Amino acid sequence: MDQYPSNFKSGFVAVMGRPNVGKSTLINQLLGTKIAATSPWPQTTRKAQMGILTLEKAQIVFVDTPGFHNPIHKLGERMNQEALQVLEESDIILFLVDISQPPHEEDRLLANALSGIKRSIPILMALNKADIESEEINKKHTFLYQELLPHADTLLISSTLGMNLDQLVQQMIVLLPEGPPFFPEDQLTDLYEREIAADLIRESILFNLRAEIPHSIAVRIDEFKDRDERTTYIAATLFVERDSQKGIVIGQGGERLKKIGIDARLKIEELLGRKVYLQLRVKVRKNWRNDDAALNLFGFKY
């Protein structure tokens, strides 16, 4: 954006919440396109990633963070640390909760962490999934969530229906500092195509393995090469923690891995706008979620 008004606003919004409250769905909805993997299962997002919304008078950089939770392994600890580290350079905190349910222990855990922040950052609490329950239940749960962070401004929204999202954006613009945009106006994310491809492969794993196993899987892109203007070749390795999991992921005669590959390929082709040849293989990396070297290899930095 070469020209921008003198009162142009820009800044970073940390989108935080416990697992599965709809953070990635919200950002995809606000941007009008899919940049983040989504699923009905917790911990779909494992790394912070940016979604960039450029408007006529503002640029809002949303930082989608991993769901804040009680960690049971080193991967969970690193995901929580990554979520909190985002706060260091954020101008606004968007605390997303599921208004269809009363506060969980993990909502309280995150609220306590936000209450302990040393510097003053405005907090907006978006009460998501307001379309699910009755107005009476929403009011009851709103009161309970307001008790967690009494100083936060609250707004009922629905990420899936787009309810009150324009109002949410306007509230954020009011709170943003004045300044030029950080990114070109046509840029939507800080991720490269290969990183989004890995995310979409993991999303396909979550939809095809609806149990604990998907959370034991890491995806590594080994090769991402444009063969010509119309075709891209991608090779990826799926790492599991146990030999028994490898057989489950592959399935009888390789059918389940084939289904994962087809689902992921179609999503990646939609993203890239060209034909994709996707090759998947499965390897065992024992107990990788508690292995510092493996976590570093897979990009989960401390």
Q: What is the pLDDT of residues 79-134, one digit of tens each?
A: 667 767 777 789 999 999 999 999 998 899 889 888 877 678 999 999 999 999 99
pLDDT tens digits along 36-81: 555 444 444 556 688 899 999 999 999 887 766 556 567 777 766 7
pLDDT on residue 94: 96
Mean pLDDT of the chain, nearest integer: 86
**Rounded mean pLDDT of 173-183?**
94
Would you place residue 165 in the very low, low, confident or very high pLDDT band (cuts 50, 70, 90)?
Answer: very high
**Rounded mean pLDDT of 220-234?**
91
Residue 300 has pLDDT above 80, yes or no: no
Q: Where are the domains of the chain?
A: 9-175, 193-297
CATH number of 9-175: 3.40.50.300
pLDDT on residue 193: 82
Fold adopted by 193-297:
GMP Synthetase; Chain A, domain 3 (3.30.300)
Question: Which helix (DSSP H) or strand (DSSP E) does residue 225 occupy?
Answer: strand 218-226
Residue 123 CB contacts under 8 Å (≥ 6 apart), including other chains: 92, 93, 94, 95, 114, 149, 151, 152, 153
**Rounded mean pLDDT of 179-208?**
86
Report the alpha-carbon angle 190-196-199, nearest 5.
Answer: 130
Residue 169 has pLDDT above 50, yes or no: yes
pTM of this structure: 0.72
**Tokens standing for residue 62:** 């949303």
pLDDT on residue 118: 67
| More confident position, 71 or 161 | 161
